[in-house]
Amino acid sequence: MSAIPKDSRLRYHCQLRQSEQERQAETHPLTWRLRKDGERIGFEEYCAKDGYQSVRDTLGQKTAADVIDSMKQANVRGRGGGGFSAGLKWSLTQVGERLPRGYLICNADEMEPGTFKDRLLLEQQPHLLIEGMIIAGYANHSCYGYIFLRGEYVEAAHSLALAIEEARQAGFLGSDIAGSGFDFDIALHTGAGRYICGEETALINSLEGKRANPRAKPPFPGQSGAWGKPTVVNNVETLCNVPAVMRHGAQWYQGLSGEISGDGGTKLYGISGLVNRPGLWELPIGTSGREILERAGGMRQGHELKAWLPGGGSTGFLLPEHLDLPLDFDTIGKHGSRLGTGLIAAVSDRQSMVSLLRNLEEFFARESCGWCTPCRDGLPWTAKILQALERGEGKSEYIDILEQHTLGLNPPRTFCAHAPGAMMPLESALKHFRPEFEAGIAHTSLEGVS
């Protein structure tokens, strides 16, 4: 390097950075634009990094059906936890004749315990979400888009508000976007902070100014959602995948996961708990839990891995022996859990499963909308039993009652998936760590009792 003139060295380093970014763009569609200093990417910088090119390539050049077919072929599955095909969900807005233009809603509520992936995208790369929403709105004939944001995400709200105005001033929101004849705009709506708004119809009710209770289905939102119009609700990460799919094609997107998984693309994986370096990484979908744990530097000194949640508090516990499983929707489902949001919560051998479950079930009980009796009454009952076991004051029948709850707080007895999600970690903990629960039963002497 010393033989290269100073000005040539500068150009050389710039070329290296550009080449590295180009390689990253081919393998990390969600994160390759991110800055090392963690600062927000503004409009000009985003456009310099291929931003809004997918909008120009798609609007007016492809039909809505073309976009939906590309999403189906790419097999983009919902990254909010459900894993439902985004392309199939979008196609539901095309069912029937002369349906009115509806709405696109981005679920940015992110209240799943242990989950922080969407926050990264919202704070640092808001234009990627806006570009994805424009294309999704075009495919669904939406007239307007809403970003339903968790109220506590103050920095994300500021970042999004700036980006929406930048995109509007540049002609990418509003009337006749990029000269395509397509009209679409976006509004930012900050919610009051309720976990139940992760259920799409409860979110829609909240957006309309109503109590956040889930709705009966059918009708599904694709036919009658917000204000009775066809509505699509997608997670932040799901929508952020759209520009790359439309830019590079479904086959390329499928190839990102290679032979690791039948699912396509990459995934934002992360880990929290008593590990050395909690964090977040974009990796091929199907990456193993072991690789993520290794990226985090393993467990802290003096701690061994006892169990792990693969994707948030509403997923089932897996054991260390499951670490080599590919983290995709179908594989994890076959082993008694769910991929969920893909962010691992690592449990140390020095942590009490009863205390951990008590904490989780108190959260789920507090977040119940109270609409159906099993959830409204069953979750607080579960939490109280766990409190008694944690204090060593449990009764012999308590564990049987908990097992009955894991069966009873499920469809068709419950109105939505909130209570079943709360029961999944409890059911798996009772299966794998029953002695810890039994240790909380009080063994009172009967001597002297008449």
**What pLDDT, on a 0 to 100 scale, did the predictor assign at position 25?**
80
Predicted pLDDT of residue 93 = 82
Residue 145 inside a domain? The answer is yes
Q: Please check whether residue 95 lies inside any domain of the structure.
A: yes
Q: Is the pLDDT of residue 16 over 70?
A: no
Cα dihedral value 295, 299, 305, 307, nearest 10: -60
Domain boundary (219, 252, 285) is at 252
Q: Please tell me whether the overall predicted TM-score, pTM, comes out greater than 0.85 for this model.
A: yes
Would 3 be classed as within a structural domain? no
Q: Is residue 5's pLDDT more than 80?
A: no
pLDDT at residue 221 tops 90: yes
Determine contact, residues 363/113, Cβ cutoff 8 Å.
yes
**Cβ atoms 309, 345 nearer than 8 A:** yes
Question: Of 282, 317, 348, which residue sits at a domain end?
Answer: 348
Residue 38 sits in the same domain as residue 93: yes
Separation between Cα atoms, residue 198 and residue 375, nearest integer Å: 16
CB 139 within 8 A of CB 67: yes
- In the block, which residue shows the tokens 């076991």? 389
**pLDDT of 102 above 90:** yes
Out of 252, 283, 306, pick the residue that ends a domain: 252
Q: Answer whether residue 433 is part of any domain.
A: yes
- 445 versus 251: which is more confidently predicted? 251
Report if residue 17 sits inside a domain.
Answer: no
Same domain, residue pair 200 and 319: no
In a domain, 4, yes or no: no
**214 in Cβ contact with 199 (< 8 Å):** yes
User: What is the model's pLDDT at position 411?
Assistant: 86
* Helical spans, DSSP H, in 368-432: 373-390, 398-408, 418-432
Confidence of residue 99 (pLDDT cuts 50, 70, 90): low
On whether both 114 and 211 belong to a single domain, the answer is yes
Residue 266 DSSP one-character state: E
Q: Do 81 and 200 have their domain in common?
A: yes
Task: Identify the CATH number of the domain in which residue 243 sits.
Answer: 3.40.50.11540
Per-residue pLDDT tens for 123-162? 999 999 999 999 999 999 999 999 999 999 999 999 999 9
Query: In terms of domains, do 164 and 295 share one?
Result: no
309 and 337 within one domain: yes
**pLDDT tens string 389-409:** 999 999 999 999 999 999 999
Could you tell me how far CA 149 lies from the centroid of its own chain?
A: 13
| Mean predicted lDDT score pLDDT of the chain | 91
pLDDT digits (tens, 9 = 90+) for 412-446: 899 999 999 999 999 999 999 999 999 999 875 33
Q: Is the pLDDT of residue 81 over 70?
A: yes
Residue 448, pLDDT > 90, answer: no
Mean of pLDDT values over 8-36: 69
* pLDDT for 39: 96
- pLDDT at residue 338 greater than cutoff 90: yes
Q: How many CB atoms lie within 10 A of CB 413?
A: 15
We report the CATH number of the domain holding residue 390 as: 1.20.1440.230
CB 185 within 8 A of CB 138: no
Same domain, yes or no: 307 and 357: no
The pLDDT confidence band at residue 11, using thresholds 50, 70 and 90, is very low
pLDDT of residue 12: 39
**pLDDT tens for residues 201-212?**
999 999 999 999
Using one digit for the tens of pLDDT, what is the confidence trace for 344-387?
999 999 999 999 999 999 999 999 999 999 999 999 999 999 99
Contact 420, 370 (CB under 8 A): no
Strand partners, 235: 107
| Number of domains the chain contains | 3
For residues 317 and 374, state if they share a domain.
no
Calculate the alpha carbon distances from 304 to 194, 273, 311, 347, 349 in Å: 34, 12, 20, 8, 5
Q: Is the pLDDT of residue 260 over 90?
A: no
The pLDDT, as a whole number, for residue 284 is 95
C-alpha to C-alpha distance for 105 and 281, rounded to whole angstroms: 26
The reported pLDDT for the residue numbered 206 is 96
Q: Does residue 185 form part of some domain?
A: yes
% of the chain residues with pLDDT over 90 = 85
In a domain, 357, yes or no: yes
Q: Which of 97 and 9 is assigned the larger pLDDT?
A: 97
Q: Phi and psi dihedrals of 375, rounded to 5?
A: -75, -45
Residues 188 and 49 in one domain: yes
- Are residues 211 and 81 both part of a single domain? yes
* Residue 20 pLDDT: 66
Q: Are residues 317 and 169 in the same domain?
A: no
Same domain, 31 and 48: yes
Out of 94-98, 217-221, 315-319, 376-380, least confident range: 94-98
Distance CA 89, CA 359 (A): 34
Domain that includes residue 290, residue range: 265-348
Band the pLDDT of 40: cuts 50, 70, 90.
Answer: very high
pLDDT digits (tens, 9 = 90+) for 261-283: 678 899 999 999 999 999 999 99
CB-CB contact of 77 with 311 (8 Å)? no
Residue 200, pLDDT above cutoff 50? yes
